[in-house]
Structure 1
Amino acid sequence: MQLVLGRDDLAAAALSAAREAGAEPERVAIEPVHKASRGFVNESNVDVCELAIVTVLQAVAHDKPVLLLPVTTLGRHQHQTLVTLGGDLSVADVEGHSVGVRAWSQTTGVWMRGFLTEQYGVDLRKVDWTTYEGHHVDGAEDPAWVKRAPQGSKLPADFLRGGVDFAIMGNELPSDDRIRTAIHDARQVAEHWSKDQGFIPVNHVVGMSATAAAEHSAAILAAYDAMHAVLTAGEHDGPVALHPVGFNALRGAFTKAAAYALEQNVIPRAVDYDELIERTCAALDVPPARLGG
Structure 2
Amino acid sequence: MKIVLGRDGLAAAALEAAETAGTSPERLDIRPVHKASRGFVNDSTADVCELAIVTLLQAVAHGKPVALLPVTALGRHQHQTLVTLGEPGLAAVRGKTVGVRSWSQTTGVWLRGFLAEDYGIDLSEVDWITYEDGHVPEHTDPMWTKRAPEGSKLSADFLDGKLDYGIMGNELPSDDRIRTAVPDALSVAENWAGRKGFAPINHVVAINPDADAKAVLAIYDALAAEVRRDPAGLSPAGFEALRGPVTEVARYAFDQQVLPRAVSFDELVDATCDALGVSTARLG
Taking structure 1 as the reference length, the TM-score comes to 0.96
- CA shift, 1:223, in A, is 0.6
Cross-structure match for 1:160? 159
CA contact (8 A) 1:65 1:209 kept: yes
Cross-structure match for 2:47? 47
- In the alignment of these two chains, the number of paired residues is 284
| CA distance in 2: counterparts of 1:280 and 1:188, whole angstroms | 36
| CA distance in 2: counterparts of 1:265 and 1:18, whole angstroms | 37
Q: Which amino acid aligns with 2:280?
A: P
Cross-structure match for 2:258? 266
Distance 1:120 1:159, change over 3 A: same
Q: Which amino acid aligns with 1:138?
A: P
Where structure 2 has 5 or more consecutive residues not aligned to the other structure, the ranges are: none
Pairing 1:61-72 to 2, within 5 Å after superposition: 61-72=61-72
Please say if 1:208 is aligned against 2:214: no
Cross-structure match for 1:81? 81
- CA shift, 1:229, in A, is 1.2
| CA distance in 2: counterparts of 1:235 and 1:12, whole angstroms | 16
| CA distance in 2: counterparts of 1:44 and 1:56, whole angstroms | 13
- CA shift, 1:224, in A, is 0.5
Cross-structure match for 1:224? 220
CA contact (8 A) 1:135 1:141 kept: no
Please say if 1:128 is aligned against 2:127: yes
Taking structure 2 as the reference length, the TM-score comes to 0.99
Cross-structure match for 2:269? 277
SS of the counterpart of 1:206? strand
Pairing 1:1-293 to 2, within 5 Å after superposition: 1-85=1-85, 87-88=86-87, 90-212=89-211, 216-232=212-228, 234-236=229-231, 241-292=233-284
- CA shift, 1:89, in A, is 5.3
| CA distance in 1: counterparts of 2:220 and 2:178, whole angstroms | 39
| CA distance in 2: counterparts of 1:17 and 1:57, whole angstroms | 27
CA contact (8 A) 1:76 1:242 kept: yes
Distance 1:231 1:88, change over 3 A: closer
SS of the counterpart of 1:139? coil
CA contact (8 A) 2:100 2:130 kept: yes
- CA shift, 1:88, in A, is 2.8
CA distances 1:118-145 after superposition (whole Å, capped 9, x unpaired)? 1110000000000001010120111011
CA distances 1:134-158 after superposition (whole Å, capped 9, x unpaired)? 0101201110110001111110011
CA distances 1:195-219 after superposition (whole Å, capped 9, x unpaired)? 110111000000011221xxx1101
Q: Which amino acid aligns with 1:235?
A: D
| CA distance in 2: counterparts of 1:126 and 1:148, whole angstroms | 16
- Runs of 4+ displaced beyond 3 Å: none
SS of the counterpart of 2:169? coil
Q: Which amino acid aligns with 2:213?
A: S
Where structure 1 has 5 or more consecutive residues not aligned to the other structure, the ranges are: none
| CA distance in 1: counterparts of 2:196 and 2:175, whole angstroms | 32
SS of the counterpart of 2:158? helix
CA contact (8 A) 2:50 2:204 kept: yes
Percent sequence identity over aligned pairs: 64
Distance 1:80 1:89, change over 3 A: closer
| CA distance in 2: counterparts of 1:132 and 1:271, whole angstroms | 26
CA contact (8 A) 1:110 1:261 kept: yes
